[in-house]
A and B are shown apart, each in its own frame.
Chain A
Amino acid sequence: MISFFASTGPIIHVAPGQVMEILGVPISNSILYGWICLIALVVALIIVARRITIKPKGGLIQFIEIAVTFMGNFVESSFEDKKIGRKYVPYFVTLFCFILFNNWLGLLPFVGEGFTSNGFPLLRPFTGDLNATFAMGLFTMVLVYYASVKESGGIKRYLRHFFVGSPKNPLFLLIGLLEMLTDLTRVISLSLRLFLNVAIGEIVIAVFSYLGHFLAPITALPFTLIEVFIGALQAYIFAVLGTMYLAVAVNHSAEHLNEPDGKRVQRIKSQTKVATSEV
């Protein structure tokens, strides 16, 4: 079952493959490893949560505490109203931890070409699958839209923030519609960024361990270390961008909650007048 890197060229899989079938449901290698990672993460975090103390003891617990506190503080402080921010802390911290663990566990040596089944590697990093990252991106953006509509008090109030002035003006209408369209590309850019970083990292490691022949551990090591850094960075960026999209919509809505329609344009105009007069 265990196969070394083939000599005909680096084996590269961009798409996940079906490795088994359970009750007629096809199971792909990425989803299999995703479930394994999820169970490992939940078990590890339950153990950590049981052993947590006020005075830090050190060890693994400390690192998890640092990560959770760091992300929690970041999410909370990016909202103007801390009370609103606190509501969304659990989701983004979970997202961060999940992506981070999947990225790092996907770098283990037996993931990839180590074991094969049906001609495909048995295990594949969950985030190295476009379906998985697209699901995460879609879910995050659905939450962002739902929350920003809820926080701004009604869909009409939310949609108004895309328009600079009154939507009856054709120019403002066009700009607003374009703004909405660019908003929808966020799902694609969020999911593609994570998928491409992880999948291409796997490919780069495969290429360099192929070039190294029997010295593969040495030639692949620097790129694996880069991937450790990139995995953490991408997890951070996925969570931060989700937070930013939400925070911008929510903070913006709180600012103009009680303003009638026409005043915004006047206020913006007066602001620009002040700015130009200062110059």
Chain B
Amino acid sequence: MTIAEAINTAIIGKGLMIGGGFIGPGIGIGLIGGNYLQAVGRNPEAAKFLGQALIFVAIVELFGLLAFASIFIVK
């Protein structure tokens, strides 16, 4: 009996996929938000660029969502 038969490896795979897949976007969104706040702190007029910051958040977020979506492929 191999390990793959004894343990449901799909669940481990799904867990790793979600855990690993959200690290990158988490760091990315943190960097965007942190840098935005830093820019606003230095120059309060930069607060109007929130819309642009949110666009980059959405671009980064896509990769996390791709990781989330791919857990439905693992059987």
Stretch at the interface among A2-10, A80-88, A231-239: A231-239
Contact indicator per residue, chain B 49-65, by CB within 8 Å of chain A (1) or not (0): 00100110011011001
Cβ-neighbour of B65 out of A14, A200, A237, A240 (below 8 A): A200
Contact across chains for B68 and A233 when beta carbons are under 8 A apart: no
Dominant SS among interface residues on chain B: helix
Contact across chains for B58 and A234 when beta carbons are under 8 A apart: yes
Query: Nearest chain-B residue to A70 (Cβ)?
Result: B51
Interface residues of A in 181-236 (CB under 8 A from B): 189, 192-193, 196-197, 199-200, 233-234, 236
A241 in the interface (beta carbon within 8 A): yes
Contact across chains for A196 and B54 when beta carbons are under 8 A apart: no
| Residues of B close to A236: CB separation below 8 A | 51, 54
Contact across chains for B55 and A196 when beta carbons are under 8 A apart: no
A side interface size, CB within 8 A: 15
Chain A's nearest CB lies how many Å from the CB of B69?
Answer: 5
Contact across chains for A200 and B58 when beta carbons are under 8 A apart: no
| Residues of B close to A199: CB separation below 8 A | 69
Cβ-neighbour of A192 out of B51, B54, B62, B72 (below 8 A): B62
Contact across chains for B62 and A196 when beta carbons are under 8 A apart: yes
| Residues of B close to A241: CB separation below 8 A | 55
| Residues of A close to B69: CB separation below 8 A | 14, 196, 199-200
B66 in the interface (beta carbon within 8 A): yes
Q: Beyond A14-B72, A200-B68, A200-B69, is A193–B55 a contact (Cβ under 8 Å)?
A: no
| Residues of A close to B62: CB separation below 8 A | 189, 192-193, 196
* Complex Cα spacing A199 to B72, Å: 12
Chain B's nearest CB lies how many Å from the CB of A70?
Answer: 10
| Residues of A close to B51: CB separation below 8 A | 236, 240
Q: Beyond A192-B66, A196-B66, is A237–B72 a contact (Cβ under 8 Å)?
A: no
Interface residues of B in 28-59 (CB under 8 A from A): 51, 54-55, 58-59
Contact across chains for B66 and A237 when beta carbons are under 8 A apart: no
* Complex Cα spacing A143 to B51, Å: 24
Q: Beyond A189-B62, A193-B62, is A237–B54 a contact (Cβ under 8 Å)?
A: yes
* Complex Cα spacing A14 to B65, Å: 13
| Residues of A close to B55: CB separation below 8 A | 237, 240-241
Q: Beyond A236-B51, A240-B51, is A196–B58 a contact (Cβ under 8 Å)?
A: no
* Complex Cα spacing A234 to B66, Å: 16
Query: Nearest chain-B residue to A234 (Cβ)?
Result: B58
* Complex Cα spacing A237 to B61, Å: 12
* Complex Cα spacing A236 to B55, Å: 9
Chain B's nearest CB lies how many Å from the CB of A275?
Answer: 23
Contact across chains for A193 and B58 when beta carbons are under 8 A apart: yes
Chain A's nearest CB lies how many Å from the CB of B59?
Answer: 8
Going nearest first, the 4 A-B pairs with the smallest beta carbon separation are A196-B65, A237-B58, A193-B62, A196-B69
Known: A14-B72, A193-B65. 9 other contacts (CB 8 A): A192-B65, A193-B58, A193-B62, A197-B61, A200-B65, A200-B68, A200-B69, A236-B54, A240-B55
A-B contact pairs, 19 of them (CB 8 A): A12-B72, A192-B65, A193-B58, A193-B59, A193-B61, A193-B62, A193-B65, A196-B65, A196-B68, A197-B65, A199-B69, A200-B65, A200-B68, A233-B58, A236-B51, A236-B54, A237-B54, A240-B55, A241-B55
